[in-house]
Copies of this chain bind each other. A is one copy, B any other.
Amino acid sequence: MSVKVAIVGASGYTGGELLRLIINHGDAELLGVYGKKSVGQPVAELHPNLEGIIDLTIEEADYGKISGEADLVFTATPHGVAMKFVPEILDGGAKVIDLSADYRLDDPKVYEEYYVPHESPDLESVYGLPELYRKEIKKADLVANPGCYPTAAILELAPLLKEKLIDLDHILIDAKSGTSGAGAKPSKKLHHPNCGENILAYNAATHRHAPEIDQELGKIAGEEIGTHFTPHLIPVVRGIFSTSHVFLRESSDEGKILDLYRGFYQDEPFVRVLEDLPQTGSVLGSNYCDIGIELDEGTERLIIGAAIDNLVKGASGQAIQNMNMMLGLDEAEGLRGVGLWP
Contact = CB atoms under 8 A, between A and B. Distances in A.
Interface of A: 13, 16, 20, 23-24, 47-53, 170, 172, 174, 176, 178-180, 182, 184-188, 190-202, 204-205, 226, 228, 230, 232, 234-241, 243, 245, 247, 272, 274, 277-286, 290, 294-297, 299, 301, 303, 305, 307, 336-342
B342 A205 contact: no
> Which A-B residue pairs are the 4 nearest by beta carbons?
A198-B281, A205-B296, A193-B342, A49-B341
B196 A193 contact: no
Nearest to A46: B341
B176 A342 contact: no
B196 A179 contact: yes
Given A199-B234, A243-B174, A341 B47 contact: yes
22 contacts: A13-B193, A16-B341, A23-B338, A24-B338, A48-B341, A49-B341, A51-B272, A53-B338, A176-B234, A182-B193, A186-B187, A192-B192, A192-B235, A196-B236, A197-B281, A199-B234, A199-B240, A199-B279, A199-B280, A200-B280, A204-B277, A285-B340
Contact of A299 (B188, B226, B240, B247): B226
A49 B174 contact: no
A283 B297 CA distance: 35
Given A52-B272, A338-B20, A305 B235 contact: no
Contacts of A200: 241, 277-281, 305, 307
Contacts of A272: 51-52
A202 to B, nearest CB: 8
A16 to B, nearest CB: 6
Contacts of A238: 197, 340, 342
Given A196-B237, A205-B303, 11 more contacts: A23-B336, A172-B172, A176-B232, A179-B193, A186-B186, A192-B196, A197-B236, A197-B281, A198-B281, A199-B280, A200-B279
A228 B299 contact: yes
Contacts of A239: 197-199
Given A51-B274, A196-B235, A234-B176, A201 B305 contact: yes
A186 B176 contact: no
Contact of A340 (B20, B205, B290, B336): B20
Contact of A174 (B170, B174, B178): B174
A191 B191 contact: yes
Contacts of A201: 241, 243, 277, 294, 303, 305
Nearest to A187: B186
Contacts of A228: 245, 296, 299, 301
A28 to B, nearest CB: 14
B198 A236 contact: yes
Contacts of A194: 281, 342
Given A23-B338, A239-B199, A301 B205 contact: yes
Contact of A284 (B197, B202, B282, B305): B197
Contact of A192 (B23, B191, B205, B230): B191
Given A49-B282, A50-B338, A245-B172, A297 B205 contact: yes
